[in-house]
C-alpha cells in the first residue's frame, strides 16, 4: 500500500483555501462596484443605474418586483440578485458584463413582460440582473419598411409606434401588449400573423448584442451562426441583446374579426375537433385560434363551478379576402 504524499496533500489544501477565499471575495458588493467604477466612462454615474440588495435604497425592491408576475418568486426563500442594473445606453452594459465575469456573478437579463418561470430574475448562485426597462426606444422607417426597437420595449409600445407612422404596416408578433420584445423575439415570437409572415424571429434582420467579453456586436460582426442562434434559441444564452432591427409587413387598414363561444352542452368538443381539420387548410390570410377555459356560474348568490369548457374562436382577415 502506497504512503500518501504529504507535500501533495498540503498543496491540495492550499488550493482549496485559495479557491474559497477567492469565492468569498467575489461575493463582496464592493469588488463589483469598484470594478464598475474603474471600467465605466466618466459620463456614467454608477449610483444612478445600480441598486444593491444590501443598501437601504427602497428602489431596489420596487424595481425587482416591477415585472415579477409569479408571486411565489417574491418569497424570502427565493435568492435575490445582489445587484440590479438599469442602463439607459449600451455603453453602460459592457462594463457590467465584464465586471460580472471578473467577480463570478451570473447575469440575468430582463426586458419586462410576464416571465412566469422567473428565468430573467432568479438564479441558484450569486447573480445580477440587467433590467432593460429604460431602453425602450422604437424608431420607424416607413420608406424602408424597417424599425429599430430596443429590447426593453413591449409589444404594445412597438405596435403603437408603428401605427403612429402607418396604418398599412405591422409586425408579426404576439397579441399580448405587455410582453417584452427582448425575450419574445429571441424565443421565436408566435402571433396572429404567423401563417402569412412567419414568426417574429423570421422578420429580424439585424441586432445589437453585448457578448461575454463585453464587445458590442451587430449582425456582421457577430456572424451568421450567432445571429441565427439568438433568433429562437434564447438570446440570453449568448449575451445581452440590446436592440433588434425588424422588417415591417403589409397589413390592410381594416380587418374582420369574429368570436364564437360554446360550452360542452353546445358541442364545444366537436367544434374543437373540427377546427383542427379546418384551420390549417384556410387561406393564409385567415387565422383562427381556440381558447379553452373553465366556466364559473353563480347559483342563488353562491359561486358554483361547473365542469364545462368555453370555446372561443377568433378570425383575423388580413387582406381583402371577402371582396
Give the integer Cα–Cα distance in Å for 143 and 245: 15
Name the grid cell of 67.
415585472
pTM of the entire structure?
0.81
Residue 112: pLDDT band (50, 70, 90) is confident
pLDDT at 269: 86
Residue 1: pLDDT band (50, 70, 90) is very low
Name residues whose C-beta falls within 8 Å of residue 255's C-beta, 6 or more positions apart in sequence: 316, 317, 318
Q: Which of 117, 153, 123, 155 is nearest to 138 (CA)?
A: 153
Q: How far is CA 80 from the centre of its chain?
A: 19
Mean pLDDT to the nearest integer, 83-100: 94
Amino acid at each position: 500500500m502506497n504512503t500518501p504524499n504529504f507535500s501533495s496533500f498540503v498543496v491540495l489544501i492550499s488550493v482549496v483555501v485559495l479557491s474559497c477565499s477567492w469565492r468569498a471575495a467575489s461575493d463582496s458588493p464592493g469588488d463589483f462596484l469598484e470594478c464598475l467604477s474603474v471600467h465605466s466612462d466618466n459620463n456614467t454615474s454608477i449610483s444612478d443605474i445600480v441598486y444593491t440588495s444590501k443598501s437601504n435604497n427602497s428602489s431596489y425592491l420596487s424595481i425587482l418586483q416591477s415585472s415579477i408576475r409569479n408571486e411565489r418568486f417574491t418569497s424570502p426563500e427565493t435568492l435575490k440578485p445582489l445587484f440590479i442594473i438599469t442602463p439607459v445606453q449600451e455603453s453602460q452594459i459592457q462594463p457590467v458584463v465584464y465586471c460580472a465575469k471578473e467577480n463570478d456573478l451570473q447575469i440575468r437579463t430582463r426586458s419586462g413582460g410576464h416571465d412566469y418561470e422567473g428565468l430573467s430574475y432568479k438564479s441558484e448562485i450569486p447573480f445580477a440582473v440587467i433590467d432593460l426597462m429604460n431602453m425602450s426606444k422604437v424608431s420607424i422607417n416607413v420608406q424602408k419598411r424597417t424599425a429599430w426597437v430596443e429590447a426593453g420595449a413591449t409589444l404594445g409600445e412597438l405596435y403603437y409606434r408603428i401605427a403612429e407612422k402607418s396604418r398599412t404596416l405591422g409586425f408579426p408578433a404576439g397579441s399580448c401588449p405587455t410582453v417584452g420584445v427582448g425575450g419574445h423575439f429571441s424565443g421565436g415570437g408566435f402571433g396572429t400573423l404567423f401563417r402569412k409572415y412567419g414568426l417574429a424571429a423570421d422578420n429580424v434582420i439585424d441586432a445589437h448584442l453585448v457578448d461575454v467579453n463585453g464587445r458590442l456586436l451587430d449582425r456582421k460582426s457577430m456572424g451568421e451562426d450567432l445571429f441565427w442562434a439568438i433568433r429562437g434559441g434564447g438570446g440570453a444564452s449568448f449575451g445581452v441583446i440590446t436592440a433588434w432591427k425588424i422588417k415591417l409587413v403589409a397589413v390592410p387598414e381594416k380587418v374582420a374579426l369574429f368570436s364564437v363561444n360554446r360550452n360542452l352542452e353546445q358541442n364545444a368538443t366537436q367544434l374543437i375537433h373540427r377546427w383542427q381539420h379546418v384551420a390549417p387548410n384556410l387561406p393564409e390570410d385567415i387565422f383562427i385560434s381556440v381558447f379553452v377555459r373553465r366556466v364559473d356560474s353563480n347559483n342563488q348568490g353562491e359561486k358554483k363551478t361547473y365542469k364545462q369548457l368555453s370555446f372561443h374562436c377568433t378570425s383575423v382577415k388580413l387582406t381583402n379576402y371577402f371582396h
